[in-house]
A and B are shown apart, each in its own frame.
Chain A
Amino acid sequence: MQTPLALLNLVHERTRLIVAIAGVAFAVILVFMNLGFLGSLSKTASLFYQEMNADIFLISPQALEITTTKPFPIERVYQAAGVRGVERAMPLYVGYLQWRNPETRQSRAVFAFGFNLNDPLFLLPELQEPQTLATLRQPDTVLIDRLSRPEYGPLEPGTETEADRRRVVVGGQYSLGGAFAADATVIMSDQNFRRYLSPIPLTLVNLGLVKLQPDADLQAVKAALQRTLPPDVRVLTQAEIIESDRDYWIGTTSTGFIFGLGVAVSVVVGIVIVYQVLYTDITSHLKQYATLKAMGYRSRFLFSTVIQEAVILAVLGYIPGFIVALGLYELTYRATSGGLPIAMELERAITVLILTIIMCSISGLISVNKVVSADPADVFS
């Protein structure tokens, strides 16, 4: 085996090595956190839709995402129900309510879903029980997300408070998570929804949910719906509407830019730290490297030694960075009481490892010029 010069050079300077590893780990943690937030954001974009029992969604072309929709006539839903291959078409009403914390009397916005209780619209296990549905039939009774932020006060069933200056009773709980769009969500019957959000009539809906027959072809039905329905609604499959919401949150808002910038800044910080360490190492070994050249080593060898050092630093820094990031993910998950589904993903772990290696290699490439251009004749001076 060839003498592992790169590794031995790094290990020899303990303090410098620890600083370098800490620097890389720091950058890795920052990248993981930024990508983690971005990933959980894009995951929360699909959160609502994945709990809805529909294959195709009807939505106004002017809608940006689920919380900023423009109502359209309920006739579109009825029209959709008549298309071949459609098993059921269901209207969904959404809007914001001011929920008063029963303890502090502070009001805060909750995102409300209203639906016809005869429609199997949600996949949430709590909503499959007839008892829950019976509760929802009572006036001014809602289900509230148990993952809502603590600022909303106690949410136990039976809690009584006000929403938009109207009495409201918590009839039960479910687990959904509010995503970035809402700190809390409530689900109620369309009848209750109309009471809270009057003057909205139930003939204007925010979303139309289309459930297909088991043997129906998704694209064919989508095309048929597009032909049948006037252009005041868009027809999107579940994957498409998730994609559309995700694009809105990440692309149109500055969210994606902010986290993207976070990643870029972290990488730049990493590049600078690793460059600093490699440069110091090269400078302090310049005579030795020039000697190697005089002995007959080619620049290629020195180049690969520096790049090896960079890659070793990348891997050594990645490991503690990865472990700390796992802990921070867990911490974030708990701090948001599960509302922010932040978790390590294999793909992200690999992406960040590759990014770290690229980051360190860039530092290596910046600093390598000094060693490649080392003049072997200098060793005699």
Chain B
Amino acid sequence: MNFSPNENGFYGEFGGAYIPEMLFANVEELQHKYLDIINSERFEKEFRRLLKYYVGRPSPLYYAERLSKHYKTNIYLKREDLNHTGSHKINNTIGQILLAKELGKKRIIAETGAGQHGVATATVCALMGLDCVVHMGETDVKRQMPNVLRMKMLGAKVIPAMSGNRTLKDAGNEALRDWINNPTDTHYLIGSVVGPHPYPDLVAKFQAVISEEIRWQLKEHTGSELPDYVVACIGGGSNALGAFYHFIDDKNVKLVAVEAAGLGVDSGETAASIARGTDGVIQGARTKLMQTADGQIIEPYSISAGLDYPGIGPAHAYLHNIGRSIVMDATDSEALKAAFELTKLEGIIPALESAHALAALPKMKFSASDVVVVNISGRGDKDMDTYIKAMGM
């Protein structure tokens, strides 16, 4: 399986590298070197070693018996929540930190929304002894405090982003500005399949391990590598693209991407970038984004800091455009309900992001023989404040 953009970073009409000249040298260096580096035997060996012994991969593919009974079908949960640091984000940060070392970079910067990518970045920086600066919207600093404290304990400097809505997009803007001001020694470790080429492809290739494992794990469970559905949430879209990646050519596998509707897709308070988006350029890529008729980016809203982003990775815009993916959405309250349902039926507290994927289940029609894989991209520890409030405790 090789789902890749063309040499200029385009998936169909989406992608590319819309960057100012100040970033050109850095981005060009990555564009020229990333494939040779990540395809080298040495890199591959070290990447796989760390995924196995440090991250704890493969993550289990768990048959959720009570959840399956509830939906009268067969549901398997891909347990990315059991990874070291608590989400799928570590797959990408392990890959990119090895890449940054190959490029001789000394300082790592990252943006984070929910803080999962920030924690995963701070973790690999501690592992490799590199300086780490994480930009995080001030709003998210407040609503994801446990992760802020973890980053600090791991030695990262957390800089609150004070522009815009002070959420994920603004953290990304500040990280890009940081990179412009520090062009020689710094690697920008982007956390999702967004940004200028080659980031969408780079991050997709590191996250593809998720679907690579699902295939052989599912064969152990059912005798077939192919499910009927793969369901994942999308903010920028890295866990979804990782979960879809090795199934893109298998046309009978339905790929379901669940966006965060916030208070509702038509409420004006939403992060459903495909449902409410039009074509444009955001943070270096041509893709679907929420914008005004004048081309100003609309501030998104979601209860989930990790999905609170007005754009979508260009590969997802492409998969949607060609009809390969099915895009659904879930509101804040639907996601909360799904989180409590999984907790009650299976004893697994999911991240609010992953709860959006689960919230698509009651809206879908399954047959008793269907095989449904839901990617549990992260665990809910960081969301306890929100869950406690929802319980009225």
- Interaction A to B: no
